[in-house]
Amino acid sequence: MFKQLLVSLVLVSVLACGSKPRVSLNEGEALKPSAQHEVIAKEVANILENISYKKVAMGDSLSNIVYTNLLNSVDMGKVYLLQSDIDDFEQFRNSISQDFKDGDLSAPFYMFNQYAKRYIESMEYALSQVDVEHDFTIEEEYINNREKLGWFKTQDELKDQWRKRVKYDLLNLKLIGSDTTSMDKHKEVLRSRYKNLISQAKKIDSNEVFQVVMGSLTDAVDPHTTYYNPFFAQAFNESMSNTLEGIGAQLMMENETVKITDIIAGGPAFKDKRLKINDRIIGVAQGDGDFEDIIGWRLDAAVSKIKGPKGTVVRLRVIPAGQDLTAQPKIVELTRDKIVLAEGSAKYEIKEVKGDDGANYKVGVISLPKFYIDFEALRRRDPNYKSATRDIRYILDTLKQKDVQAVVLDLRNNGGGSLQEAIELTGLFIDQGPVVQVKDVRNRVEINSDREPGVSWDGPLGVMVNRFSASASEIFAGAIQDYGRGVILGSTTFGKGTVQSALDMSRFISTTSRLLLKASDASESKNENIPAGAPEFGQINVTMGMYYRVSGSSTQHRGVEADVSFPSQFSADKFGESSEPSALPWDSIKMAPFKPVADLKTVNKALNEKHQKRIEKSPAYGFLMEDIKKFNEEDSIPKVSLNEVKLKAERDKFRKDNRDRINQQRAYLGMPLWEEGKPQPQHEFDFILDESLTVMTDYIRLKK
């Protein structure tokens, strides 16, 4: 046993000393990759080359994309780095992905360190310019985003950019502030802002840099393959389950302290009532343990202490809202619990809609933000596990009891989620049969079917989609369309036809690598901020297949086209899968054996004719087209005037145009107009939903 251990330790020693980084990072450099980062990077590169669906070699062409991605992720607006920095970085352009394969992260960390240095230099220079006298009467322009321009050639050019930035920030504070607020007050606000930005920048650690660096690699391979460090992996998994474990409070960092921005209904903090919005948490203790002072911590590190498994106790030292940090803190003890995130869950409302025939119709509208499922609870065989299908089945039962005549499922901006949920949700509307086909890395095709007999709703069905309905939304909408089970309303969807698997990176870390990491713990600080229950080495969501509709067509690039279409302000060349340079191409496979419920071609044609005649006469349609036109009016290099009179006139005109436009809508809706000087009134104006509901009244009559 001792001999085996000795051999292992010798092997670890050889491994630890056997490879030399390509770039030497200065001894005083704050940000360096850890041994764990290097091991993970090497394994991720191996997964991308040998396991993923695309199997991309770590070669020159990929390196060029990784290099560009990394530059864009730190300074897309070209406001921090100099041309000399870019010239220095060019040595890595054609070899950076090969370095990942060797576990060598010195080059991307070198690039990030130089960016971080320039960032802090820029912020400190901006801070020095706050008290400089700025002339707001001269003609001068500021360009915030310089993406389409060249890099700064000199320090003087960069400094002039930041002089203008400070001038713009002060002018902006002056224009949005009251007439009685002094310039000294504006300067005080701006000084505090810049100091906070500098403070936060100095707290960035190597784990955060590693996340950015790995994103530059995975995005180069596939827009939907992503590595998550332990903190982000836990956040992703909680999002998928629509649940989290903790105290039930949303937090943000403000002036070195953790501030409560929201209390989640139903959570421990909500039930306890002692924590309030804008309270600041300055200390945390686990159970009966000692308090740790968290003032000045990074937000993720503080959150990892506050969150924790259900049933565990946390004590918080809290400064009540509105009180100074020198005030006596209160101690709040909470027992952590599992919290359902209601804002991400399915919701419904019943709409009374007047049809073209003058009759009133009851339509149930179900909004589904994502296809969620609590996989962990499902694995534990929890009979009350949370899922989109279970929630919507209950909603459909409720809508039937309330005698609705049609159901509309609103999937607009639903970016997807669980493939299993897309299949099971489809099963609520069809009586058994194939739903989606999946082709894996070996080109094997598996047909995924709804096997549960019966349906939860067999009446008229509409599915609303838009450009940001993706993945699971497209599987569901495509199946409903192929079966002729309902009408798809809206605009062409995103076009994501790839399937990702979430892989815990610990599966790929060898025994030898683990020994290496244990040996390195003595020479570098161990990350103690891994949230409880998070994967130790992070997680990679990697593309492992493509899905196809039962018709055999992929939705990749092309998406799902609506049966009753509405114009979209989001063009395919800028938004959607087809705008992603690393996206897989469209293809098709053999049709699955399925039996359509109905052929809706004639019905859809009739619905479209009525729809087009109606919207051509609708002022609301005119509002929509104006929105689309305004959205697509793009200035190639947007400039802002730094002349106070000119900028104020531009903003006054914008406010007047905005008020006039809102009043046109309010007049159309029969609502009181927004008067000048009064706060902007809140009103919901959703022409696409309103017209979709009217289309459904047409559909009800045609079905009869």
Joined together, the tokens standing for residue 575 give 């938004």
Phi-psi region of 672 (alpha: psi -120 to 50; beta: other; left: phi over 0): beta
Residue 28 CA, distance from chain mean position: 35
Q: Residues 23, 33: contact at Cβ < 8 Å?
A: no
Residues acting as catalytic residues: 471, 482, 496
Q: Residues 579, 478: contact at Cβ < 8 Å?
A: no
User: Whose CA is closest to 43, among 438, 517, 417, 375?
Assistant: 517
Count Cβ atoms below 10 Å from residue 498 Cβ, excluding itself.
22
Q: Residues 16, 519: contact at Cβ < 8 Å?
A: yes
Cα dihedral 527→532→534→535 (10° resolution): 60
End-to-end C-alpha distance for the chain, whole angstroms: 80
d(CA 488, CA 461): 9
540-558 per-residue burial string, b: 16 or more CB within 10 A, e: under 16: bbbbbbbbbbbbebbbbbb
d(CA 530, CA 533): 8
d(CA 654, CA 658): 6
646-655 per-residue burial string, b: 16 or more CB within 10 A, e: under 16: bbeeeeeeee
419 Cβ neighbours under 8 A, 6+ residues apart: 436, 438, 448, 472, 475, 499, 547
